[in-house]
């Protein structure tokens, strides 16, 4: 508004000055004349001689009227023709020059180009730790022009430097992300860093083998995952009871199985009473032989007391409900042999032990599992990998980066499929742990459908500072974006035409009304109103494929929103940075 005000003032001053100079040239001879004969009337006379005072006031009134008329006409001309052009141009030139160039040796992310200036936009390192959220409806280019290029850049960064290369977890439930990650790893010589979690793959992963975590923590993770499948129809009481049963069952498994817990063991000890009794005999024998220390003895007695005095004494209906909640997870791991041997392997076959090695040595973990084929299993494994990764990242803070201070990244396409309430806490704290979170989802409503808590969704989106909004038809998303960007004063104009006639007659020849002595008047009025900077039409119709509205930070402050053109991965010719840095 300040730019428009200054331009308005300068334009009016300039044009009215030109008008006054032009008027001075035309009317100066009349003003300086000593004889002005008024020839009209009954008695022609010289006004300069006979009425000098009236002539003086006439000249003063003319000068004042002429000046004011010039100012009014100049202002009207500016409002109608110049002001719209300046507002459009001023929007085009809004771009953050201080994030348009970076040192290629430093960690940064190329986002895209300002669509009006063609200037390259980068996010510096301290901005990356503030996280990135990408939203947009299907087919707008989220994955191909944002997620793939961002992943490629992070895989390439210091790829030949053991101390600096980035360790990361990449999740995608569509099953096609793995292929692109594999290509990027081959390009940048990081194939040995790639760890693929998939059925019948090289790596065996047991989500429950976490000897350093207490049984209550593991049980709480399983409850968190259960919430992914309990949006509206499960009362919290049943989930709390299921969590308690799982915690006690994990204690027993660790005690009779030398500290090793699998989903297969959990399922059998909770569901099969004879199996529970067989394991109870083993526990009794070990106890009699003084096999356990004081802590293990306490866990053994408390677990047996829970099962014998509480769990197995529940009425059949309550017992079946609790068991049904637990089997929603465990059944996914015991139903097929391929799944069982991949995610519940014997201890000696286990070769992916978690994310400590990933963070210490800069490994890349990617999940290759299609949600359409394994609907429940893919969500469980995705959520568990995510929770494992988050726990290990936060442990870096507790250990004060004693082992490695390399940057790490969590990249997730279709994030709404396995988002959990605990994510908001992680995103708010992960900056200190040097973790870059890059998430893509279709809309805020997609997150809400999974979490079923609007306050939690707002907390998650608030902690994802950098945002790229592709075209969206979701009103909840659009309204939230509009509120976040804010409002501005906008000029609204109205145009009307009216006709007045003194006499109107009907013509039988033309079968129409004909007006006589008519006149037509046109009215144009403008007013200033406060409205959202970007209206709904902008998000639903004016964002083309591979274009997004960028709401970005330089690490210290938010940059004014700008429309960006993102570069799809399939348009890169050879090397990303050679083409765009």
The crossing angle, in degrees rounded to 10, of helices 273-288 and 294-305 is 150
* Helix (H) / strand (E) containing 531: strand 512-532
Any domain includes 501: yes
Handedness of CA 341, 344, 348, 353 (dihedral sign): positive
Contact 486, 533 (CB under 8 A): yes
Best mean pLDDT range from 15-24, 124-133, 220-229, 281-290: 124-133
Bridge partners of 507?
512
Any domain includes 514: yes
Domain edge (last residue) among 63, 92, 121: 92
Strands 408-412 and 167-171 turn out to be parallel
**pLDDT tens sequence across 257-268:** 999 999 999 999
Any domain includes 402: no
CA 385 – CA 170 distance, rounded (Å): 10
Domain edge (last residue) among 92, 113, 148: 92
Structure tokens belonging to residue 16: 């009215």
The pLDDT assigned to 509 comes to 60
**pLDDT tens sequence across 83-99:** 776 666 555 444 444 45
Average pLDDT, stretch 331-359? 89
Contact 206, 344 (CB under 8 A): yes
Average pLDDT, stretch 280-299? 91
Residue 19 burial class via C-beta count within 10 angstroms: exposed 0-12, middle 13-18, buried 19 and up: middle
Domain count along the chain: 2
57: Cβ contacts below 8 Å, ≥ 6 apart: none
Neighbours of 494 (CB within 10 A): 9
Which DSSP category does 492 fall into? E
* Nearest to 459, CA basis, from 471, 444, 446: 444
Any domain includes 195: no
Domain edge (last residue) among 58, 92, 126: 92
* Nearest to 218, CA basis, from 207, 228, 229, 227: 207
Residue listed under structure tokens 């890169």: 572
- pLDDT band at residue 235 using 50, 70 and 90 as cut-offs: low
Neighbours of 309 (CB within 10 A): 9
Per-residue pLDDT for 181 more than 60?
Answer: yes
- HEC string for 210-249: CCCCCHHHHHHHHHHHHHHHCCCCCCHHHHHHHHHHHHHH
Beta-sheet strand order (sheet of 167-171): 120-124, 108-114, 562-565, 547-551, 466-469, 132-135, 435-441, 408-412, 167-171, 364-367, 194-197
Per-residue pLDDT for 437 more than 90?
Answer: yes
**What phi and psi, each to the nearest 5 degrees, are found at residue 364?**
-125, 115
The pLDDT assigned to 527 comes to 75
**pLDDT tens sequence across 111-167:** 999 998 889 999 999 999 999 999 999 989 999 999 999 999 999 999 999 989 999
Per-residue pLDDT for 363 more than 70?
Answer: yes
Average pLDDT value for the chain:
84
Contact 568, 145 (CB under 8 A): yes
Structure tokens belonging to residue 575: 């090397």
Contact 199, 192 (CB under 8 A): no
The pLDDT assigned to 443 comes to 93
**pLDDT tens sequence across 484-518:** 998 887 777 776 776 666 666 666 566 666 666 66
- CA angle 197/203/205 to nearest 5° reads 70
Which DSSP category does 133 fall into? E
Q: DSSP of 15-52, one letter per residue? A: HHHHHHHHHHHHHHHHHH-S--EE-SSSS-EEHHHH-H
**pLDDT tens sequence across 536-576:** 999 999 899 999 999 999 988 999 999 999 999 888 654 44
CA 127 – CA 130 distance, rounded (Å): 5
The pLDDT assigned to 579 comes to 45
Residue listed under structure tokens 């860093």: 193
CA 278 – CA 326 distance, rounded (Å): 21
Any domain includes 509: yes
The pLDDT assigned to 486 comes to 87
The pLDDT assigned to 8 comes to 77
Q: Is the pTM of this model over 0.85?
A: no
Any domain includes 22: yes
Residue 198 burial class via C-beta count within 10 angstroms: exposed 0-12, middle 13-18, buried 19 and up: middle
**pLDDT tens sequence across 365-418:** 999 988 888 888 888 899 899 999 999 998 887 777 666 688 999 999 989 988
**pLDDT tens sequence across 55-76:** 788 888 888 888 888 888 888 8
Structure tokens belonging to residue 567: 């570069």
The crossing angle, in degrees rounded to 10, of helices 294-305 and 236-256 is 130
Which structural domain, as residue segments, surrounds residue 38? 2-92
């Amino acid at each position: 508004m300040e730019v428009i005000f200054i331009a308005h003032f300068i334009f009016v001053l300039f044009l009215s000055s030109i008008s006054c100079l032009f008027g001075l040239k035309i009317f100066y001879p009349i003003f300086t004349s000593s004889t002005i004969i008024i020839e009209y009337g009954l008695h022609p006379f010289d006004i300069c001689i006979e009425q000098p005072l009236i002539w003086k006031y006439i000249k003063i009134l003319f000068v004042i009227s002429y000046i004011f008329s010039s100012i009014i006409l100049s202002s009207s001309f500016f409002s109608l023709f110049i002001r719209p052009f300046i507002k459009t141009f001023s929007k085009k030139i809004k771009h953050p020059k201080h994030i348009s160039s970076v040192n290629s040796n430093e960690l940064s992310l190329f986002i895209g180009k300002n669509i009006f200036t063609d200037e390259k936009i980068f996010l510096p390192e301290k901005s990356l730790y503030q996280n990135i959220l990408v939203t947009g409806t299907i087919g707008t280019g989220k994955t191909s022009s944002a997620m793939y290029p961002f992943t490629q850049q992070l895989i390439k960064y210091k790829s030949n430097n053991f101390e600096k290369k980035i360790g990361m977890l990449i999740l995608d439930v569509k099953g096609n992300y793995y292929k692109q990650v594999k290509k990027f790893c081959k390009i940048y010589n990081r194939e040995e860093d790639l760890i693929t979690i998939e059925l019948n793959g090289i790596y065996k992963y047991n989500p429950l083998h976490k000897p350093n975590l207490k049984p209550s923590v593991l049980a709480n993770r399983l409850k968190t995952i259960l919430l992914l499948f309990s949006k509206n129809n499960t009362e919290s009481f049943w989930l709390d009871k299921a969590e308690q049963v799982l915690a006690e069952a994990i204690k027993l498994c660790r005690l009779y199985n030398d500290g090793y817990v699998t989903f297969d063991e959990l399922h059998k000890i909770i569901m099969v009473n004879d199996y529970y009794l067989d394991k109870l005999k083993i526990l009794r024998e070990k106890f009699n032989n003084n096999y356990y220390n004081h802590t293990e003895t306490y866990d053994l007695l408390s677990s047996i007391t829970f099962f014998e005095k509480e769990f197995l004494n529940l009425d059949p209906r309550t017992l079946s409900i609790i068991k049904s909640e637990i089997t929603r997870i465990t059944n996914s791991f015991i139903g097929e042999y391929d799944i069982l041997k991949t995610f519940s392997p014997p201890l000696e076959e286990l070769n992916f032990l978690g994310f400590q090695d990933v963070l210490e040595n800069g490994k890349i973990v990617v999940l290759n599992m299609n949600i359409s084929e394994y609907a429940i299993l893919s969500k469980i494994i995705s959520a568990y990998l995510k929770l494992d990764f988050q726990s290990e990242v936060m442990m870096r803070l507790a250990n004060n980066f004693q082992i490695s201070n390399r940057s790490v990244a969590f990249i997730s396409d279709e994030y709404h499929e396995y988002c959990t309430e605990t994510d908001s806490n992680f995103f708010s704290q992960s900056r200190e742990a040097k973790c870059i979170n890059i998430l893509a989802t279709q809309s805020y409503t997609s997150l809400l459908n999974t979490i079923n808590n609007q306050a939690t969704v707002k907390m998650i989106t608030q902690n994802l500072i950098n945002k790229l909004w592709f075209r969206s038809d979701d009103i909840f998303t659009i309204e939230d974006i509009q509120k976040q960007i804010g409002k501005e004063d906008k000029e609204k104009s109205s145009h009307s035409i009216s006709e007045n006639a003194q006499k109107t007659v009907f013509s039988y020849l033309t079968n129409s009304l004909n007006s006589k002595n008519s006149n037509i008047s046109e009215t144009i009025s403008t007013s200033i109103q406060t409205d959202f900077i970007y209206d709904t039409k902008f998000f639903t119709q004016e964002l083309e494929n591979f274009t997004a509205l960028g709401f970005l930070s330089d690490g210290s402050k938010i940059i004014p929103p700008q429309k960006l053109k993102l570069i799809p991965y399939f348009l890169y010719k050879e090397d990303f940075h050679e083409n765009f840095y």
